[in-house]
Amino acid sequence: MSEPNSNALDALLKKHKLTRGEYEKIQQLLGRDPNLTELGIFSVMWSEHCSYKSSKVHLKKLPTRSERVLQGPGENAGIIDIGEGYAIAFKIESHNHPSFIEPFQGAATGVGGILRDIFTMGARPIAVMDAIRFGPLDSLENGARNRRILDGVVQGISHYGNCFGVPTVGGETVFEDSYDGNPLVNVFALGVFRHDEIFYGRATGVGNPVIYVGARTGRDGIHGASMASDVFTEASQQQRPTVQVGDPFMEKLLLEACLEAMRTGAVVGIQDMGAAGLTCSTSEMGSRAGTGIDFDLKHVPQRETGMTPYEIMLSESQERMLLVAEKGREGEILAVFDKWGLESAVIGTVTDDGMLRVRDNGVVVAEIRNRDLADEAPLYHRPYTKPYRTAPYEAPEFASSNLEADLLGLMGSADLCSKRWIWEQYDYMVQTNTLAGPGGDAAIVRIKETGISVAMSLDGNGRYCYLDPREGAKLIVAECCRNLSAVGALPVSATNNLNFGNPERPEIMAQLVEGIEGLAEACAFFDTPITGGNVSLYNETLGESIFPTPVVGIVGLLGTAPPVGMKFPAAGLDVLLIGGLGQASDQEMGGTQYAKQVLKSLWGVPPKLDMEREKAVQAATREVVVGGLARAAHDLGEGGIAVALAEASLGGVGAEVSFESGLRPEIALYHEGPSRVLIATERRAEVEAIAARHGVEALWIGRTVEGLLKIRLNSHEVISVSTDKLHHRWDRALEEALHV
């Protein structure tokens, strides 16, 4: 840059969200000053979103290997061997900031982005799940806005996923003050392929042509990656032009064309253009292969005239891919894209000098080593103290005046009520693989070519993690694995989406560090290595950070068979609790749904997790379910045993149960102690024998009955409610809250 004066440079750096120190590192790597295009390129590649500069030193603590892992973090998605010569690719990604600024397109392009990550590896996407979080729908101040954001996000996911033709099979929806002004939209996608169909984002083979395919490049989304690394201020609404617009039809064509092009055998490497677009795909593909890429912008298909090199390199136009082909066979690839009516163009070649060399009509406009962009971003050991919290440790005085009213209140609460209104807007059946769709403990998708099915579950709990990020993160992993075990699946691998506040605040950084360490410990223990994921920081609005919200997606494997559901299917079955009644103190009630919905309060610590015991309960549950002994199985989670029983009763068959507990009634019924699974069976003795063999309790608590849920505690009837009433409360609550 031509000697900008100090103030002008500071302003320029601020605009690019680069620090003075980072600028000096750029100068040092280049051996000169960067020009404006180069500065733009560095700014997106070194953004928090692309470089993980604040989290990388801690992400290294996560377990990433097992016998099944074919590809860990660092590629577009992780890959797991599932047997019979098949593999799955899966990942979760956030689109939080764009979804606040423009909910429909923000969420839609979130789905589009993660789908491209999957099929760029050669896998056909077979399932999507979403974890979405919003501010309260009934907030006096922002309720209308929160309802509008929810509606936009749901319609955006619906629009994109349905048209693309991938089933949206599950997810979670949570409402919390802390997401008021900073909604979270985390999208998980999973695809399937054979081992010999795997492709990587590597630009190998000097002299090979570099091919651009898909949508034309426009001025949309410029600086999206650095926006995603920003905190919200009142000016955020003015950033709308940086949100991209998605075209699921184009993406569907891109999917079919890419898979067909891969089958020609002429594709050497391939990567989608997501955050930081052309910049990221060229430099990462080159960096992974240790090669250079030399290309000319004049060959890049453009939607608008007069775009500058800076704009073309930083555009985040959607539905674009970058391929490297075998030299001499580019014609075969161009023909496939032509068949699908897609534009494609050879824009440059792979070189041996490791440089990203960008030309504009032959004139070099940027020249940077690929590895400096992809791997040399500064790593920050950001200082951290104790995790931020203001909630008290001590429990307030509380005692229920009506345990049945509490249950009805919980069943009709925004977090626990039916999300049917949301998931009926998603096509959850297309591809005819969905054995278990939305609304269960875990979704199950069969893989037709094999006898194998994949189960998946998505979980987060901002309250637990706010009270204790480390223990909260462990509980999430345990819950996710328990969800899978309840449908009979063996958990095998995980992906994570770390949604946190501003890492430059030491008490927020501490949440991130402890959250990651908790995940690392639990994922190692449950043998579910993390093969990839996403970090979303700076989730704060006007100085208020969101609850630390790691969201975990875990996949499990099981044989293809009719699924065991969570609802009681018939009267007269024995109801057992594998893992027993569990324990909880007053302090451990503070993060529960009971505290949130009934007492409108937050305190204390999350429930205590004994991972050994959890593992044994899960192993026993899987054996029971896979062995065909369970007519229904449902893990205990939010709302404890009372809510789990109520949920199992929603099909019209309830239960009459009775148990003894030394805990106060509201704690006995509503505590969220982990390591418990509800089973309905005709073969009680066999279930008990399996539990005994695993060293865990299988407590008989009663039998299923038609139309009624009756709970006796210490010989007192505390709840007696018709299943119709439960269903009515639960089924309509969301629509009522949304006023639709």
Partner 1 sequence: MKFGVVVFPGSNCDHDAYYAVTRNLGQQADFVWHDSENLSQLDAVILPGGFSYGDHLRCGAIARFSPVMKAVKKFADAGGLVAGICNGFQILTEAQILPGALIRNQGMRFICKTVGLETATSASAFTNRLKEGQVIQVPIAHGEGCYTAEAQVLDELEAEDRVVFRYVENPNGSLRDIAGILSAGRNVMGMMPHPERVADPLMPGTDGLAVFESIVSAYASLSR
Catalytic center residues:
49, 95
Which of 46-54, 249-257, 616-624, 709-717 is the region at the interface with partner 1 (rule: CB under 8 A)? 249-257
The Cα-based distances of 78 to 59, 95, 489 in angstroms read 15, 19, 19
Give residue 25's Cα distance to chain centre.
Answer: 33
Q: Does 250 bind partner 1 (CB under 8 A)?
A: yes
Residues 42, 52, 119, 164: which binds partner 1 (CB under 8 A)? 164
Cα distances (angstroms) measured from residue 473 to each of 119, 302, 481, 588? 30, 45, 13, 15
Q: Does 424 bind partner 1 (CB under 8 A)?
A: yes
Rank residues 25 and 446 by Cβ distance to partner 1 and give the closer one: 446
In the region spanning residues 82 to 121, those forming contacts with partner 1, defined by CB under 8 A, are none
Distances (CA, A) of 615 to 69, 481, 610: 21, 9, 9
Q: CB of 126: closest distance to partner 1 in angstroms?
A: 11
Nearest CA-CA partner of 219 in 305, 348, 345, 281: 305
Question: Quick one: which of 99, 105, 162, 545 contacts partner 1 (CB under 8 A)?
Answer: 162
Task: Name the minimum Å distance from CB 445 to partner 1.
Answer: 11
Task: State yes or no: residue 431 binds partner 1 (CB under 8 A).
Answer: yes
Query: In whole angstroms, what is the distance from residue 123 CA to residue 79 CA?
Result: 10
Q: Does 340 bind partner 1 (CB under 8 A)?
A: yes
Residues β-bridged to residue 222: none
| Nearer Cβ to partner 1 (249/393) | 249
Angle between helices 506-525 and 611-626 (to 10 degrees): 50
Q: How far is CA 375 from the centre of its chain?
A: 24
- 341 or 662, CB closer to partner 1? 341
Shortest Å, Cβ 254 to partner 1: 11
Shortest separation between residue 429's beta carbon and partner 1, angstroms: 5
Stretch that binds partner 1, among 284-292, 359-367, 431-439, 474-482 (CB under 8 A): 431-439
The beta strands (E) that lie in 310-449 are given as 320-325, 344-351, 355-360, 363-369, 434-436, 443-446
As given in the structure block, the two tokens for residue 225 are: 């990656």
Contact between 166 and 252 under an 8 Å Cβ cutoff? The reply is no
Closer residue to partner 1 (CB): 164 or 500: 164
Nearer to partner 1 among residue 342 and residue 374 (C-beta): 342
What's the token pair of residue 462? 């901002």
Nearer to partner 1, 182 or 434 (CB): 434
Query: Which of 24, 249, 335, 612 contacts partner 1 by CB under 8 A?
Result: 249
Whole-number Å distance between alpha carbons of 41 and 10: 17
Q: Which of 426, 464, 526, 603 binds partner 1 (CB under 8 A)?
A: 426
Q: Residue 459: enclosing H or E segment and its boundaries?
A: strand 452-460
For partner 1, which residue of 97, 133, 202, 252 counts as binding (CB under 8 A)?
252
The closest of 167, 75, 83 to 118, measured between CA atoms, is: 75
Contact between 450 and partner 1 by CB under 8 A: the answer reads no
Binding span for partner 1 by CB under 8 A among 260-268, 313-321, 392-400, 432-440: 432-440
Binding-site string for partner 1 from residue 531 to residue 560, where x marks contact by CB under 8 A and - marks none: -----------------------------x
| Token code pair at residue 371 | 């590895």
Q: Which residues contact residue 293 at a Cβ distance below 8 angstroms, ignoring those fewer than 6 apart?
A: 203, 210, 282, 283, 285, 286, 348, 349, 350, 351, 355, 356, 357, 370
Query: Quick one: which segment of 52-60, 162-170, 306-314, 656-664 binds partner 1 (CB under 8 A)?
Result: 162-170
Task: Give φ, ψ of 145 to 5 degrees.
Answer: -65, -40
| Sole binder of partner 1 in the list 220, 247, 574, 635 (CB under 8 A) | 247
Vertex 81, ends 80 and 87: CA angle to 5°? 85
Q: Does 228 bind partner 1 (CB under 8 A)?
A: no
Edge-to-edge, what's the strand order for the sheet holding 292-296?
Answer: 267-272, 320-325, 209-214, 344-351, 292-296, 355-360, 363-369
Question: Which residue do the tokens 């407590």 mark?
Answer: 699
Least distance from partner 1 to the Cβ atom of residue 561, Å? 8
Select the span of 73-81, 241-249, 346-354, 592-600 touching partner 1 (CB under 8 A). Answer: 241-249
**Angle 71-129-166 from CA coordinates, rounded to 5°:** 85
* DSSP for 553-567, written as a single string: EEEEEEES-PPP-SS
Contact residue for partner 1 among 106, 214, 248, 640 (CB under 8 A): 248
Q: For residues 645-660, b (16+ Cβ closer than 10 Å) or e, as one string?
A: bbbbbbbbbbbbbebe
Cβ atoms of 656 and 710 closer than 8 Å: yes
Residue 36 binds to partner 1 (criterion: CB under 8 A): no
The answer to whether residues 606 and 593 touch, using CB atoms and an 8 Å cutoff, is no
Residue found by looking up tokens 């890492």 in the block: 503
Beta carbons within 10 angstroms of residue 393's beta carbon: 11
CB of 125 to partner 1, least distance (A): 11
Instruction: Please report how close the Cβ of residue 559 comes to partner 1 at its closest, in angstroms.
Output: 12
Exposure string of 500-529, with b = 16+ CB inside 10 Å and e = fewer, is: bbbbebeebbbbbbbbbbbbbbbbbbbbbb
Q: Does 428 bind partner 1 (CB under 8 A)?
A: yes
Which of 57, 70, 430, 452 lies at the binding interface for partner 1 (CB under 8 A)?
Answer: 430
Q: Under a CB-based contact definition with an 8 Å cutoff, are residues 711 and 669 in contact? A: yes
Give residues 126-155 in contact with partner 1 (rule: CB under 8 A).
155
Stretch that binds partner 1, among 140-148, 246-254, 298-306, 666-674 (CB under 8 A): 246-254
Taking the complex as a whole, the smallest distance from the CB of residue 199 to partner 1 amounts, in Å, to: 21
Number of amino acids touching partner 1 (CB under 8 A): 31
Q: Is 335 in the site for partner 1 (CB under 8 A)?
A: no
Nearest CB to partner 1, comparing residues 55 and 434 = 434
| Closer Cβ to partner 1, 90 or 164, answer by number | 164
Q: Tell me which residues in 555-584 interact with partner 1 (CB under 8 A).
A: 560-562
Nearer to partner 1, 306 or 341 (CB): 341
CB nearer to partner 1: give 268 or 650.
Answer: 650
Decide: is 306 part of the binding site for partner 1 (CB under 8 A): no
Considering the complex, what minimum distance in angstroms separates the CB of residue 212 from partner 1?
20
CB within 8 A of 306, min separation 6: which ones?
none
Q: Which of 39, 82, 253, 653 binds partner 1 (CB under 8 A)?
A: 253
CB of 160 to partner 1, least distance (A): 11
The piece of 367-375, 403-411, 421-429, 585-593 that touches partner 1 (CB under 8 A) is 421-429
Contact 377, 34 (CB under 8 A): no
**Whole-number minimum distance, CB 250 to partner 1, in Å?**
7
Among 176, 220, 427, 666, binds partner 1 (CB under 8 A): 427
165 binds partner 1 (CB under 8 A): yes
DSSP of 259-300: HHHHHTT-EEEEEE--TTHHHHHHHHHHHHHT-EEEEEGGGS
State both tokens at 604: 């204390």
Least Å distance, CB 166 to partner 1, is 8
Instruction: Report in angstroms how near the CB of residue 337 gets to partner 1 at its nearest.
Output: 12
Which region among 327-335, 419-427, 614-622, 628-636 touches partner 1 (by CB under 8 A)? Answer: 419-427
Residues that bind partner 1 (CB under 8 A): 155, 158, 162-165, 247-250, 252-253, 340-341, 423-432, 434-435, 446, 448, 560-562
